[in-house]
Chain A
Amino acid sequence: MSALCPPPSPAVAKTEISLNGESPLLAATFAYWDNILGPRVRHIWAPKTEQVLLSDGEITFLANHTLNGEILRNAESGAIDVKFFVLAEKRVIIVSLIFDGNWNGDRSTYGLSIILPQSELGFYLPLHRVCVDRLTHIIRKGRIWMHKERQEHFQKIVLEGTERMEDQGQSIIPMLTGEVIPVMELLSSMKSHSVPEEIDISDTVLNDDDIGDSCHEGFLLNAISSHLQTCGCSVVVGSSAEKVNKIVRTLCLFLTPSERKCSRLCRSESSFKYESGLFVQGLLKDATGSFVLPFRQVMYAPYPTTHIDVDVNTVKQMPPCHEHIYNQRRYMRSELTAFWRANSDEEMSQDHIIHTDESFTPDLNVFQDILHRDTLVKAFLDQIFHLKPGLSLRSTFLAQFLLVLHRKALTLIKYIEDDTQKGKKPFKSLRSLKIDLDLTAEGDLNIIMALAEKIKPGLHSFIFGRPFYTSVQERDMLMTF
């Protein structure tokens, strides 16, 4: 194939990245639409490997074509469109984020792409949302930077009377590099440590003879309950990788197979970094017995997170979905605003933005104790240990429990759809819903709502995110939630 591809342009810069493990990613590219030459590749990122699976020419050839057809692009301002290719002839899959931006005084179309072998399709698909969310955010920032580059460029022309072409627009590449490398590392770590699709219940706490054998009863109850209340998104930290992974596997029992593939076990030798967007991840504490979670990344996770410390048996959780999304959007907006206002490279750094932003001060007590108790998980845990371990009885019982949760979640969605005429009217009575669907315990409602949020995104915001219309509704809302 390489013989048939044109040689890469000498202008295409390439960054080779050393990764610890196997990289499923073949390359990442940044391309743009040149009004004279058509699609052109600006930069290539590729893992440093001995065996070259895809030559630079092939990468350029593929990346150029991701912008094909975009000459007539008619997107809304600020839109970032995702294109996904599975090219069996080339044995690759390509994920491209197409966006418009101003660079060098011209408005043009750009494409940031990642290229993987086709054999990794099953591996990649569960991680698609994570990758796209992260790349989308860096593009938002990169677009601001491109625009600022242009302003600075014109200022320099005015001041110095000269035009330095070589300086133009180069600064976006280091910014993109700052996110492309972590994405590569994430995929690499998932390749080696992702939770398998099928979990043997014997590898989990649910295989214990009795409820208190592996961990304290109350701790297990809190962990599972909070895990379900935060949409199945949890961080498990501890000093022992084995202990951490047992809890990780236990929590993953309550996820769907594709969500499990978006979860990561703890590495025993040294800890991974926290990765935003994974469902469950195990992290190892350092020598000092601590693990520092990056605030920004925790905030950028699509769902609130439960923090579980297996050393001290503590369980903390973030606020519910609607609050988390509200805070997340507010923080993202303020970060981009600060970025827009920044005047120098130093000011553009993340830490600087976080510390100097006046419009938004993050609530450091983002993890709080579990406020609401549930009856669903409690009854489940009280009952399952009555069944003999080592047989398929407990797996069947677990499947029944999960089926009940899913059915309740779907019933809840339908109930709200019926009540609001599919969103045309505001939802009036949460109290009736709780009584009718047997969700009077706050924890139960949280669990079912969290599950419903995953299959119907935006449900929390629809119910809780609207202003109160009448005092009756307000009273009802306050009394019930």
Chain B
Amino acid sequence: MSVDYQASFVGHPPGSAYPKLNFVEDSKVVLGDSKEGAFAYVHHLTLYDLEARGFVRPFCMAYISADEHKIMQQFQELSAEFSKASECLKTGNRKAFANELEKKLKDLDYTRTVLHQETEQQKKANDKGYYTTQAIEKANELASVEKSIIEHQDLLRQIRSYPYRKLKESEFHPYEPECALDRADVSSDQDPTASDFTEPGETHLYTHVPSYTPKLIKAKSAKCFDKKLKTLEELCDVYFFTQTLDQLHHIERTFRGDVCYLLTEQISRALLKQQSVTNFLFEDVSFLDEKPPEKQYRGCQGLGQDAIDEKCSEESMAPKVVISLGSYKSSVECVPIKMEQEMEDSEEPKMSESVMSEHQENLDYLDADIKGSISSGESIEVLGTEKSGTGLTKSESQASLPVIPSPQVGRSKVGSRRTVSEDSIEVLSTCPSESLIPEDFKASYPSAINEEPYVDDDEGGLRFTPRLNPGIDDGQDDISKLESLVQVDAACCIGKESPNFLEPVPELGQKPCEEDGVVRIPPQPYRPAEQGLRGGFPSHDGLSGGLLPYELDSRYLTGSREVSKSSLDECSDSTSYISSTASTCSDRTPSPAHLACVAGEKHRKRAGQNALRFIRQYPFAHPAIYSLLSGRTLVVLGEDETMVKKLVTALSIFVPNCGVYAKPVKHWVTSPLHLVDFQKWKLIGLQRTVSPAGVNVLHALSRYSRYLSILDADSKTLRCPLYKGTVVARLADHRTQIKRGSTYYMHVQSILTQLCSKAFLFTFCHHLHLPISEREPEESVVNRRMNFLKLQLGLANEDIKIVQYLAELLKLHYIQEPGQGGNPLLRFDYVPSFLYKI
């Protein structure tokens, strides 16, 4: 239908001397075949081809799904994303079309010159006084060529003026070079012939391909109908074409999965944005920092700095195939690609191991795609109305383009086939879960474990790549602060009834906090500076026996020694049963906008698995979790690094964050612990060795053991305070029938959100923290608070301490300077510890 509309008004309109290009808008159609159970969002667009009838070639892109409601519910998002892909493709097409026209004009110009010379020669040779038939033919031919030149000049003028005409319209954002230098370069390179056609006042974005050698055009070949139509690759500039394919990949990944997960994620994201005050405690900050789908566009419109960075890192991770970027500085719109390349180079030395891991993961991903195993329920296919799917045969119009394929070209092959769902790959290998349980976890607890196995170390390292930013380094600052704190006698801070923080709160008077520490100003959204710092993690080199930066990442996970095997959890995401329109999808990859998101998803699942296993196997899980939730540092002691790391991973989901950075979790320490470590970390994996050095480790531990909870992984004991509350019981019931780690993780998340809500209420309750009258004693205020916690929030016993601790964190976080980062807390409780054994 839309194709029919777009076919109107092209070619020679009545009353017009020259052919007119019609810049048609895209059409979007949702249709389906209820019999086959297939539904599609189809995005129609028109590209230009000098050799096509009316110069137009209709194309369409489609998103196909088994769930009609999914397409309609995500219509606007799909439309926005496909519009970006379309705009990218059309921009590249305009560029290629203009190139083609320029070449054609040069050919025509050259032909005219030749014809003119021939005519002149004939005139000179003619002494008969009348025109010969040959001369007349030549003259006609010359006139035809001149007419053709005028027509093509007009076409070129039309195609060049398009972005400027569109700019006057609503929301059109063409490519524009970001630096004036590029513009200047481009302008200086311009061909004088081309500049003749430029409209007055128009910025010279169009350049000329200098290496083209004009050819003689035969008069009769001007209207040749038997020419082969160009492929889609030939119709579009290579850079834009690959960008389009990237965008289509991005769309497929974004909208993969059951619609219920997509919807919930969108709703959750919107709700989390409204509660920025509490998000730092348990939420995945990287998840929140991700741009929503409509803003994730990396390819085409208005390449922002973020997008450039992302592009750079992406390209740097790709195989070492260098693109000759200079050749792109031509024709329709100019793209600051060269600048990106420079940035890429400058970034390269900073690439850490983790980034390389991501690179590897990219390769894996690509590899998986190329292998083309079982496809997911939905797929994207780029459909051309004609032979667009043929090979990458270079047309004449692309003669100047680089011969070496870009990494994206490699991907383009993937783009034309169904994209592989990693869920489907995971289905391929299923093994009995029982056989995968590590021996040490099978140990003593009799409950049945129906879980998936760990993934090996290497894979874990590859999957979970922290977003490092070595440039941001306030480690020195932290160290100096910490050193000053170390000199403070710990005893002077001990003994106070209410927990105190060693770190002084800077300039309280200027903060929205009164002297009594009560927050009276409502929470405000995060300040930009604060947000900016979230992307990276501070370096903490030199602490606790050389802590690696990646260990700060909340998403960093340790693997296990088992060989990578697929799990129950990973193998069953094939069909959806409840909806009448069953959608084949993955529930765990609802909208992985990019690899980090996939990693985050994997992390959540694995952490959930470990935690579920932990609560089932260790009867003293409750006091251990209570320690973490109430801010008491828990040390996991053991000989086997793998086992310790697993336990740390399992427990990490219960650790509240202290600042905007990663969770205060240290997976593995081999050196003796110091006081500063307890300020920095709330969960530590500690190596037990029998060597003399190991004695020091244990000695240091025993020195502070009064203020710590210690989980001995070797002897399966726990020394920590007693817990008699109910909150943790809801969090960690060893009889739970929850079968999967991801489900358990979500359950934990919902309970922790409830806890955050209680802490928020307690922190910002306006009548709770201040005396009602001037003469009201402090004890009365304290009693009121306790009553509130008990009666209004329904908390009992140790649960009160959990909410109090979270409230303290909230208060501290709220009154912090933006950009200062999380101030670690150091507090001591004189609570008698008990020894738990299995």
On A, residues with C-beta under 8 Å from B are 4, 65-66, 68-69, 74-76, 79, 81-90, 121-122, 125, 128-129, 256-257, 379, 382-383, 386-388, 391-393, 395-397, 399-404, 406-411, 413-415, 417-424, 429, 432-433, 435-438, 455-459, 462
Proximity bits, B17-46, A CB within 8 Å = 1, else 0: 000000011111111111100000000000
B52 at the interface (CB under 8 A from A): no
Q: Given the known A-B contacts A81-B34, A89-B6, A388-B766, are A422 and B268 also in contact in the complex, defined by CB atoms under 8 Å?
A: no
Stretch of B109-117, B194-202, B738-746, B770-778 at the chain-chain interface: B738-746
Decide if B760 touches A436 in the complex (CB within 8 Å).
no
B587 interfacial by beta-carbon distance below 8 Å: yes
Given contacts A68-B4, A457-B578, could you give 18 more A-B pairs where the C-beta distance is less than 8 Å?
Answer: A4-B8, A75-B33, A79-B34, A84-B75, A85-B30, A87-B27, A88-B25, A121-B76, A386-B765, A401-B757, A403-B271, A404-B753, A406-B268, A418-B740, A422-B575, A429-B737, A436-B736, A457-B69
Knowing A75-B33, A88-B27, A392-B523, say if A399 contacts B271 (CB, 8 Å).
yes
Q: Is B260 an interface residue (CB 8 A)?
A: yes
CA distance A158 to B768 in the complex (A): 89
CB pair A396 B523 closer than 8 Å: yes
* Given A397-B761, A400-B753, A87:B2 Cβ within 8 A: yes
A420–B27 CA distance with the chains assembled, in angstroms: 42
Docked complex Cα distance between A125 and B73 (Å): 8
Residues of A within 8 A of B578 (CB): 413, 423, 456-459, 462
Q: What 9 A-B pairs come out closest when comparing CB atoms?
A: A423-B577, A88-B25, A391-B522, A407-B750, A399-B274, A84-B30, A400-B757, A388-B766, A455-B260
Q: Is the CB of A418 within 8 A of B739?
A: yes
Are A65's CB and B4's CB within 8 A? Answer: yes
**Cβ of A404 and Cβ of B28 under 8 Å apart?**
no
Question: Chain B: interface secondary structure?
Answer: mixed
Complex Cα gap A65–B8 (Å): 15
B260 touches A386 (CB 8 A): no
Q: Fill in one digit per residue for B249-277: 1 if any A CB lies within 8 Å of its CB, else 0.
A: 00000000011110110011011101101
A-contact 0/1 string along B653-665, CB 8 Å cutoff: 0000000000000
Q: Among the listed B24, B28, B68, B573, which residue makes an inter-chain contact with A85, where contact means beta carbons less than 8 Å apart?
A: B28
Chain A residue nearest to B749 (CB atoms) is A407
B574 CB–A CB distance under 8 Å: yes
A403 x B68 contact (CB < 8 A): no
In the complex the two chains form, is A456's CB within 8 Å of B792's CB? Answer: no
- A68 to B29 CA separation, bound complex (whole angstroms): 13
Contacts of A458 in B (CB 8 A): 578-580
B270: A residues at CB distance < 8 A: 257
Q: Are B264 and A414 in contact (CB under 8 A)?
A: no
Q: How far is the CA of A423 from the CA of B736 in the complex (A)?
A: 21
Knowing A84-B29, A86-B79, A436-B737 are in contact, say whether A403-B268 is a contact too (CB < 8 A).
yes
Within 8 Å CB of B260, what residues of A? 410, 413, 455-456
Q: How far is the CB of A126 from chain B (nearest CB, A)?
A: 10
The answer to whether B609 has its CB under 8 Å from any CB of chain A is no
B575 touching A414, Cβ below 8 Å: no
Sample 28 A-B pairs with CB under 8 A, ordered by A number. A66-B1, A68-B1, A81-B31, A84-B75, A86-B27, A87-B1, A89-B24, A121-B76, A125-B76, A388-B766, A393-B523, A399-B275, A400-B271, A400-B275, A400-B760, A403-B272, A404-B750, A404-B754, A406-B267, A414-B743, A422-B574, A422-B575, A432-B737, A438-B751, A455-B259, A455-B264, A456-B258, A457-B579
Flag if A411 contacts B743 (CB, 8 Å).
yes
Contact status B522-A393, CB under 8 Å: yes
- The smallest beta-carbon distance between A270 and chain B, in angstroms, is 33
B60 to chain A, nearest CB (A): 13
Residues of B within 8 Å of A397, CB to CB, are 757, 760-761
Residues from chain B with Cβ under 8 Å of A81 in the complex: 31-34
Residues in A whose Cβ lies below 8 Å from that of B764:
387-388, 393
- Measured between beta carbons, the chain A residues less than 8 angstroms from B733 are 435-436
Within 8 Å by CB of A383, from B267, B738, B749, B761, lies B761
Q: Which residues of B contact A75 (CB under 8 A)?
A: 33-35
Q: In chain B, residues 66-112, which have Cβ atoms closer than 8 Å to a Cβ of chain A?
A: 68-69, 72, 75-76, 79
- A89 x B736 contact (CB < 8 A): no
Whether, in the assembled complex, B683 has its beta carbon less than 8 Å from a beta carbon of chain A, the answer is no
> With A383-B761, A418-B738, A424-B577 in contact, do A409 and B766 touch (Cβ < 8 Å)?
no
- A445 to B225: give the CA distance in the assembly, Å: 69
B1 close to A69 (CB less than 8 A)? yes
Is B718 part of the binding interface, using a Cβ–Cβ cutoff of 8 Å? no
Closest to A90 in B: B5
B717 within 8 A of A: no
Partner of B28, one of A86, A392, A403, A462: A86
- Asked if B317 is an interface residue, CB under 8 A from chain A, the answer is no
Q: Are B793 and A89 in contact (CB under 8 A)?
A: no
> In the complex, what's the smallest C-beta–C-beta distance from A189 to chain B, in angstroms?
22
Chain A's nearest CB lies how many Å from the CB of B264? 5
Which of B532-584 touch A at CB < 8 Å? 572-580
| Residue B278 lies at the interface, judged by CB distance under 8 Å to chain A | yes
Query: Contacting A422 at CB < 8 Å: which of B577, B736, B794?
Result: B577
Would A414 and B750 be within 8 Å (CB), given that A81-B34, A82-B32, A396-B277 are in contact?
A: no
Q: How far is the CB of A363 from chain B (nearest CB, A)?
A: 25
B825 within 8 A of A: no
**Least Cβ distance of B772 to chain A in Å?**
15
Q: Are B756 and A383 in contact (CB under 8 A)?
A: no
B218 sits at the interface (CB 8 A): no
- Contact check, A128 vs B6: say whether CB atoms are below 8 A apart: no
Assess the A387–B72 pair: CB atoms within 8 A. no
What is the CA–CA distance of A85 and B743 in the complex, to the nearest angstrom? 39
User: CB distance B263 to A455 under 8 Å?
Assistant: yes
Q: Collect the chain A residues with CB atoms within 8 Å of residue B740's CB.
A: 414, 418
By a CB distance below 8 angstroms, the chain B residues around A74 are 33, 35
In contact, A128 and B523 (Cβ under 8 angstroms):
no
Q: Measured between alpha carbons, how far is A75 from B578 in the docked complex, in Å?
A: 23
A128 CA to B76 CA, complexed, in Å: 13
- B706 within 8 Å of A (CB atoms): no
Instruction: Give bound CA distance, A419 to B751, whole Å.
Output: 21
Task: Please state if B757 and A89 are interface contacts (CB–CB under 8 Å).
Answer: no
Q: Is B53 an interface residue (CB 8 A)?
A: no
Q: What separation, in Å, do the CA atoms of A84 and B749 have in the docked complex? A: 39
Assembly CA distance A464 to B277 (angstroms): 40
Taking CB as reference atom, which chain B residue is nearest A424?
B577
The answer for the CA separation of A413 and B573 in the assembled complex, in Å, is 13
Write out the residue numbers on chain B whose beta carbons fall within 8 Å of the beta carbon of A433.
737
